[in-house]
Amino acid sequence: MPPKKKGKKGKKGKKKKKEPKHDAGWQKALINGKWERPLEALPDPFLWPSFGEIREKILLSSHLISILWSGSIHDDFILELLKVPRPNLTTLELRGTKYLTRFVMSPPSVCPVLETLDLACCPILEYVLIESTSLEFVSFKRCVSLKKVLLNAKKLKRIDLHETGQLDCLMLWSDAIEELHFFCKEMTQLELYCPKLTRVQRPSIKVIPPLYPVHPSVLDIVRVDNAPRAKEYSHPFVIEEYKPYARSPFIPQAILLCPHWDLSLFIPIHHFIKATISYQQQQSYSIQTSRSQELAEILFRRNEPASLEYLPSTGDFQITGNIPLHQLQTINSRQQKLKHQL
């Protein structure tokens, strides 16, 4: 038998992906101008490039968009829906949307003929801003997390706010609404610009006391200004707190006495240490502080003998020592002068 002819060698060409089949409901929605199916049924542009154009045509031609009890609608879909004008949309129903937190429809030219908006039963919806010249009815029923509603709709005739207990701010502009009923116990801001409004049922507004500015005291300002200078003094010192004058606005104060007693500074005690100071028999002192060991050692460096002890029960450092009699006289004289100044 003659030998078989060998075929030409070559790479097999990759098969081209075929466009997925179109859903029959897409063409039906384009003809009827209604979309009443889940969000997942819309053409997905990530599945095929041409599906994005079909998706936009469906949204643009629809006068009714009703997607109820959806777990797929997020804030991104609202941005996609309202980023371009929808001249045919008259009814938008998004009742029961689980993950919608904000709804912003502005300016009025986005939906120029929208008459009905249903956002009821959106459990985490918190903020709503709507500007419309055609809207007549809007529902926020059972939006339990709704806190702020800004609604500017001249033709609005009815708004449903039942079971919106967390609503604390409502601003409404309407030339057509005649009655308003809501029971929001957390309401703190209510502004109604409605000339035909005659019947209103609402709870009392929760009054929040005004917040007055708290200005720092002169002592706090001086403390901040003197803080860098206080760090420069590494001299051993004795701190004496004057408890009898605790009611004075200038107290607590401290007098800083250096070893040579030729330099004394009248400085707030909080610049240096939060300490409990006690004198024993007018000749010895004890300082207990909860600050760092480094700061305790600064107090420990003195000319006269002193001891530094760590208290494990409280985590504090305690410094004890004796004061020479001639230095006690200096301290007493300075105390008397300080009392006269206060």
What is the model's pLDDT at position 183?
81
What is the model's pLDDT at position 49?
86
209, part of any domain: no
Identify whether residues 330 and 246 lie together within a single domain: yes
Neighbours of 37 (CB within 10 A): 15
Give the residue, 17 or 293, on which the prediction is more confident: 17
CA atoms of 138 and 293, how far apart (whole Å): 66
Enter the DSSP assignment of 77.
H
H or E stretch covering 12: none
CA angle 114/117/120 to nearest 5° reads 175
Where among 201, 227, 258 does a domain terminate? 201
Neighbours of 310 (CB within 10 A): 11
Domain count within the chain? 2
Instruction: Place 22 in a pLDDT band, splitting at 50, 70 and 90.
Output: confident
Is 38 a residue whose pLDDT tops 90?
yes
Q: Are the beta carbons of 91 and 65 closer than 8 angstroms?
A: yes
Extract the tokens encoding 82: 């309202």
Enter the DSSP assignment of 85.
-
Identify whether residues 186 and 251 lie together within a single domain: no
120, part of any domain: yes
33, part of any domain: no
pTM check: above 0.75: no
What is the model's pLDDT at position 326?
47
pLDDT digits (tens, 9 = 90+) for 247-273: 333 333 333 333 332 323 333 333 333
What is the model's pLDDT at position 88?
95
What is the model's pLDDT at position 340?
54
43, part of any domain: no
Identify whether residues 264 and 319 lie together within a single domain: yes
Average pLDDT over residues 136-155: 95
Identify whether residues 282 and 307 lie together within a single domain: yes
Instruction: Place 280 in a pLDDT band, splitting at 50, 70 and 90.
Output: very low
What is the model's pLDDT at position 81?
95
What is the model's pLDDT at position 287?
54
9, part of any domain: no
293, part of any domain: yes
CA atoms of 119 and 88, how far apart (whole Å): 19
Peptide bond into 252 cis (omega under 30): yes
What is the model's pLDDT at position 113?
96
What is the model's pLDDT at position 234?
37
Residue 224 domain boundaries: 218-341
